[in-house]
């Protein structure tokens, strides 16, 4: 299903470019302080090792469980007719500041090399206590970069959550709120010089749609594909329908149905899950981490990375699932007759601490480059950005030691906006974009 709007390109002001260039110079100067000993930490993850044995790829299979239509209908009956993305954007009353309006501390989280060409910081009062989780865009939703008449950025956040999958599924509305929350900020990106946003809480229907609970697990990845939003957490992958945004009616700290209506910890909107996926590999299954969309394959595919600690000696796995081409299943991974989605390609990397992942196939070949954004090690300040394939690996480098620790201080998942050629991510309180061409030049 395509949702196309009129293409409009907007140029950044010279002052903004000059400011970001100055910021990049300052960060580069700071990078010269990286010691030679730090430059050797996790220096080279080597070539990707293909995983072809059934025992290896079988551990990556997902089992699909869709929420019954009757449950979704019951929820809509109680809350009112679902609204769309445009309703959330129309209510946007929070602003992101351009880089010039961000503090020096906030800007320190930006990559050293390559430098960001767009950078913004969030409303500090609105995001206090929330941890940035993932970024995706309407460039993922549709290849022309538009969702109906809007260009949109989505940023995921977590609060009071852990990486454990032991959240109580039956907790009441009044006590769920302090056990963990996850939300998505909808950013109106039609004018990149004036970004405004509003947020919706992510929830899961319970009791046949007569109530909902908070998604109480930390977000680690997010992809908006067609009309679905796919979100990875410690306990699996959840799917949300972007046409099923629901309005709340009560402004309280509770999450779920309350005496006077519906509450979402102060949020005006909720997104109820329409399905979930669980890895079926038992103890051999990886811990789901970051995800992203790859439009360079046929069909389009969802790529995933294993979450490991930054200083771990454990090798991580990277793999992909095909998206379904059945018009009756828009935005969902392809499954077999048993409801299982199987990895169609898988690798092992010596890299650890992968927080951002992209895969992009070179035109005219069947070879994909895998871009890995890695978290800083215990003795490092910045993370690193690597490009890997089955022949080797190369990193962006900076400073007098030519060290590979040049990526964002706390950079998370990556999202490639094909129509603009930009890679979006978030580091700390900074939302930023870097052209993929700039990344490749830095790597080459």
CB 311 within 8 A of CB 378: yes
DSSP 3-state percent helix, strand, coil across the chain (nearest 5): 20, 35, 45
Q: What is the pLDDT of residue 161?
A: 63
HSE at residue 391, side-chain half, CA atoms within 13 A, is: 3
- Give the Cα separation of 356 and 360 in Å (integer): 14
Number of H-type helices and E-type strands within the chain:
10, 29
10 in helix, strand or coil?
coil
Vertex 232, ends 231 and 237: CA angle to 5°? Answer: 85
Rg of the chain in Å (alpha carbons): 21
Q: What is the per-residue pLDDT across 134-180, written as a single tens digit (0 to 9) for each?
A: 999 999 999 999 999 999 999 999 998 654 333 333 344 434 445 69
Ranges of the chain whose pLDDT falls below 70: 1-42, 161-179, 364
CB 240 within 8 A of CB 156: no
Q: What is the pLDDT of residue 145?
A: 96
Q: What is the pLDDT of residue 235?
A: 80
Confidence (pTM) = 0.89
- Give the Cα separation of 414 and 370 in Å (integer): 11
Chain-centroid distance, C-alpha 224: 9
What residue segments make up the domains of the chain, in order of their start?
62-319+349-443
Q: What is the pLDDT of residue 24?
A: 53
Q: Tell me 334's DSSP state.
A: -
């Amino acid at each position: 299903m395509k949702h196309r709007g009129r293409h409009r390109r907007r140029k950044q002001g010279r002052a903004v470019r000059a400011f970001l260039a100055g910021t990049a110079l300052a960060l580069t100067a700071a990078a010269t302080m990286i010691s030679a000993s730090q430059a050797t930490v996790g220096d080279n993850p080597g070539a990707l090792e293909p995983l072809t044995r059934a025992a290896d790829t079988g551990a990556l299979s997902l089992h699909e469980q869709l929420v019954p239509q009757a449950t979704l209908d019951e929820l809509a009956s109680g809350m009112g007719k679902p609204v769309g993305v445009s309703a959330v954007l129309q209510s946007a009353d929070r602003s992101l500041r351009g880089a010039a309006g961000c503090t020096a501390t906030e800007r320190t989280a930006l990559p050293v090399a390559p430098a960001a060409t767009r950078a913004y910081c969030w409303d500090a009062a609105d995001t206090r206590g929330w941890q940035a989780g993932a970024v995706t865009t309407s460039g993922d939703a549709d290849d022309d970069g538009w969702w109906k008449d809007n260009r949109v950025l989505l940023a995921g956040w977590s609060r009071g959550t852990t990486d454990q999958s032991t959240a109580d599924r039956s907790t009441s509305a009044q006590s769920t709120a302090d056990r963990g929350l996850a939300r998505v900020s909808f950013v109106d990106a039609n004018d990149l010089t004036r970004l405004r946003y509003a947020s919706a809480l992510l929830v899961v229907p319970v009791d046949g749609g007569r109530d909902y609970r908070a998604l109480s697990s930390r977000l680690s990845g997010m992809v908006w594909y067609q009309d679905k939003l796919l979100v990875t957490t410690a306990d699996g992958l959840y799917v949300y329908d972007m046409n099923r945004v629901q309005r709340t009616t009560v402004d309280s700290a509770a999450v779920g149905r309350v005496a006077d209506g519906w509450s979402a910890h102060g949020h005006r909107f909720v997104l109820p899950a329409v399905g979930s996926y669980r890895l079926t590999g038992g103890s051999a299954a990886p811990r789901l981490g970051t995800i992203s969309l790859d439009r360079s394959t046929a069909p389009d595919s969802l790529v995933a990375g294993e979450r490991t600690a930054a200083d771990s000696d454990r090798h991580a796995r990277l793999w992909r699932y095909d998206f379904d081409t059945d018009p009756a299943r828009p935005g969902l991974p392809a499954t077999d007759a048993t409801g299982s989605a199987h990895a169609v390609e898988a690798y092992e990397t010596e890299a650890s601490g992968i927080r951002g992942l992209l895969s992009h196939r070179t035109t005219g070949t069947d070879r994909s480059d895998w871009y890995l954004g890695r978290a800083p090690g215990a003795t490092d300040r910045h993370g690193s950005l690597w490009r890997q394939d089955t022949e080797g690996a190369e990193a962006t480098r900076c400073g007098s030691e030519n060290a590979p620790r040049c990526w964002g201080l706390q950079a998370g998942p990556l999202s490639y906006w094909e129509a603009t050629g930009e890679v979006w991510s978030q580091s700390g309180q900074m939302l930023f974009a870097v052209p993929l061409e700039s990344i490749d030049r830095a790597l080459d």
